[in-house]
Structure 1
Amino acid sequence: MPQSTLTVLIIIAAVLLLAVFIAAIVLGIRAERRRRLAETLEKRRDDEVQYAFIINPSKPQAATQRLHIQEFCRSKGLNRIRFYDTQLDKDGRACALEALEDGADVVIAVGGDGTVRTVASAVSGTGHALGIIPIGTGNLFARNMGIPVDDIDAALTVATSHGSRLVDMGRLRLLDHPEDDHGHAFLIIAGIGFDAAMIDDTDPALKANISWLAYFVGGIKNLFAPKFRGNLTITSSDGSTHSIKNLDFRTIMAGNCGQIPVFSLMPAASYDDGILDFEIIDTTGGILGWANLFGDVVHQTITGKPEQNPLSTNSTVEQVQGITAEITLEKPAKAQVDGDMLPETKHIRFSVDQRALIVRVPDTSTLKTAQVAAANATSDFAETTSILEPVK
């Protein structure tokens, strides 16, 4: 056998062994997490109250899960349950409001991030707890909460037993749509510009097959779309305001949770710190700028810090914390909340309802995520950002 062939075979074997080793570690970590979760759930006390399950019947497994939920509750002696189906003209918020009027003590969203978002919109601020049974594509909020996304019995145990934490609720209000009677809730990320256009151009069928990777296809369609221009004002938690006029940008996002599969978009974002993390993104130089931006996201994912890759030359990622942000655009643009599209708008306001939502979670440890996020944050976002200046 030629030496070159032998070398290639050795390299291939080494790569395969490394892959097996990494897979074994990942499986071991998952098994340990499952074991710890099982131990935690065994200690929880069932809460025998009235439950309302808000279910999205469009999900492929919805019918099967409904039967499973009924059997689970029957085995636990939880007999006060009722199902509410979302419809095209009746979203999760309307169903949750109806459930609360009917006397529900705990409202449980059975679906993806869209169902969770709309149900949470109604439950927030009421003093009633929100449970989550994640059967969607991304299930990003459930993942951020540590709720099992691949074990319905574990998720049901979490939702129907004592153990909750207070969570912030983001709101996006369309100020040029007076017909809206409420701010559109978001629990993960809302935005205007490129991110919304990317989501809008994502094929639902492709998303169902390859999950969040489908967003990359939608993103490619909008790489060369025109930039957006407008005025931006952010109010910090101390009441000071910071503003810029005639701002050119690709996208502006507000984050309550900054973690998505694989990547960290906003490393300092925390769902219980009473503030939002705003990210202002721009690129120049065509593909080079987008490549730089991808490098920025990878860099902050690895470092866990809200900072750019020092090698970036054609992208900017400004990250600012605050309690509100108002944007007025020259031309209408698409907006989104947790992946749900909103009508085109020229004038929006982001705000946060501080610790207004009670969510049943597996881990109710007293260590606040805000403390962890603070360790990753820069000293003062409003001071370190280069484009925003205090209003005189």
Structure 2
Amino acid sequence: MSSPAGAVQLGVLVVVLAVAVGLLVVARSARGRRAPLAAEPAPDLPVATEHRPFAAVVANPTKVDDADVRLDWVRQASEDLGWAPPLWLETTREDIGAGQARAAVEAGAAVVLAYGGDGTVRAVASSLTGTGVPLGLLPAGTGNLLARNLGIGVTDLAEALRTGLSWSERKVDVGVVEFDLSGEDHTPRRETFLVMAGLGFDAEVMASVEPRLKERVGWLAYVVAGLRLMHGRRTKVTLRIDDRPPVTRRMRSVIVGNCGELTGGVRLLPDAQVDDGWLDVVVVSAGGLVGWTAVIGAVLTRSRRGHPVVEHFRCREIEIRAEAPNQVQLDGDPAGEARVMRVRLEPLALSVRVPPLS
């Protein structure tokens, strides 16, 4: 579903007020256009030569209208740019991109193109981190937040493909998060993220949206969920930030970001840069209309000071320990529950194809 810019901006304002940092969800309302195309299957396994590299495409079939047509589109673009025919790998419910990306690296792909939304991008990136094989972005989700932060157009897939098959790259930081459900787990679940990880209200909203309602009304389903949950109680958390003394807060949401720009140029994390080696943290403690109104002011003015319901921190590592398990999210996707969330960065661990001078 695509919506006019004015509607997107209004949606952002509504959700900031009603859903606080649910801005991350509303950012998922601008779907990229699909490029027009014609069909033919690619070979099972491309062969790279010294002069003709090949790309692998890890595609989310729920975001691709016609796989054969799209494959031929990538094949034709590859040929026009002097590349060998591409390798096409589709995600599954059981493997949303990590295994396919590993297979692409083993096959010798010169670049792996993630064709889907932020979840597909995150899964593919988790297998490319540290390999030296770059990630290309074919934005086909509703948020496409990494693409936005890197200046990759989200409304022109043809241009995004040309960028992915170019040789202009940028190294970015990769977030590493551990989720501990009990708070005493010696082998916590380990995940990666590229944009943001969150614990609390924002994740509750994402997890509570009814799929059928989302199909009918799109991102407004998140507003409905946020309005239903906005009066929930605050949770006591202890924050251990680098080697500083621990601090205690009563929060509605804690978001740890690697980059901070959302749709419409709104910056939830004013200082966040995808390659600066820092984590940017926002703690939201709003508990009523006055508190949510203060959140609006802090986000839209990019203020780092002011009302105590919004606090900002910068760090290399952070541990958030809650008094009880809370919903968590990664790059806008629900990720279950955790009582403890530990986050750090792997600086400049991933190369991403970007427009020249991006």
The TM-score normalised by the length of structure 1 is 0.72
Q: After the TM superposition, which residues 193-342 of structure 1 pair with which residues of structure 2 at under 5 Å, given as runs?
A: 193-204=200-211, 207=214, 212=219, 214-235=221-242, 240-245=243-248, 247-262=249-264, 263-284=266-287, 286-300=288-302, 305-308=303-306, 312=307, 316-342=309-335
Distance 1:360 1:175, change over 3 A: same
Equivalent residue for 1:192? 199
Unaligned residue ranges in structure 1 (runs of 5+): 1-18, 20-46, 366-392
Q: CA deviation at 1:61?
A: 2.7
Query: Which deviations, in whole Å up to 9, do the C-alpha atoms of 1:64-122 show, x marking residues without a partner?
Result: 43332223223334224201111011121121112212222211100111111111111
Letter in 1 for 2:271: A
**SS across alignment from 1:95:** helix
Distance 1:321 1:49, change over 3 A: same
In structure 1, distance between residues paired with 2:116 and 2:66:
8
For residue 167 of structure 1, the aligned residue among 172, 175, 191 is 172
Q: Using CA pairs under 8 Å that are at least 6 residues apart, name the structure with larger relative contact order, 1 or 2.
A: 2
Whether the 8 Å contact between 1:55 and 1:62 is mirrored in structure 2 is: no
In structure 2, distance between residues paired with 1:274 and 1:128:
20
Query: Which deviations, in whole Å up to 9, do the C-alpha atoms of 1:199-231 show, x marking residues without a partner?
Result: 112344555676655433322121011211122
Distance 1:307 1:215, change over 3 A: farther
In structure 1, distance between residues paired with 2:219 and 2:176:
23
Whether the 8 Å contact between 1:110 and 1:133 is mirrored in structure 2 is: yes
Distance 1:76 1:148, change over 3 A: same
Equivalent residue for 1:389? none
Whether the 8 Å contact between 1:144 and 1:257 is mirrored in structure 2 is: yes
**SS across alignment from 1:231:** strand
For residue 144 of structure 2, the aligned residue among 120, 139, 148 is 139
Query: Which deviations, in whole Å up to 9, do the C-alpha atoms of 1:284-326 show, x marking residues without a partner?
Result: 3x222222222222222xxxx4334xxx5xx511100001111
The TM-score normalised by the length of structure 2 is 0.79
Unaligned residue ranges in structure 2 (runs of 5+): 1-5, 7-50
Whether the 8 Å contact between 1:249 and 1:281 is mirrored in structure 2 is: yes
Equivalent residue for 2:58? 54
For residue 99 of structure 1, the aligned residue among 84, 101, 104 is 104
Alpha-carbon RMSD: 2.3
Whether the 8 Å contact between 1:56 and 1:115 is mirrored in structure 2 is: yes
Q: CA deviation at 1:346?
A: 0.8
Judge which range, 201-210 or 124-133, deviates more.
201-210
In structure 2, distance between residues paired with 1:192 and 1:71:
43
Distance 1:199 1:102, change over 3 A: same
Distance 1:117 1:75, change over 3 A: same
Equivalent residue for 1:364? 357
Letter in 2 for 1:61: D
In structure 1, distance between residues paired with 2:272 and 2:338:
26
Letter in 2 for 1:66: L
Distance 1:180 1:140, change over 3 A: farther
For residue 354 of structure 1, the aligned residue among 330, 342, 347 is 347
In structure 2, distance between residues paired with 1:289 and 1:344:
25
Distance 1:62 1:116, change over 3 A: farther
Equivalent residue for 1:75? 80
Q: CA deviation at 1:198?
A: 1.3
Whether the 8 Å contact between 2:77 and 2:162 is mirrored in structure 1 is: no
Equivalent residue for 1:387? none
Query: Which deviations, in whole Å up to 9, do the C-alpha atoms of 1:174-220 show, x marking residues without a partner?
Result: 13486978631111111000010111123445556766554333221
Judge which range, 224-233 or 252-261, deviates more.
224-233
Whether the 8 Å contact between 1:168 and 1:354 is mirrored in structure 2 is: yes
Q: Which has the larger radius of gyration?
A: 1
Distance 1:134 1:211, change over 3 A: farther
Query: What's the % identity of the aligned pairs?
Result: 35
In structure 2, distance between residues paired with 1:342 and 1:179:
19
**SS across alignment from 1:279:** strand
**SS across alignment from 1:221:** helix
In structure 2, distance between residues paired with 1:179 and 1:203:
34
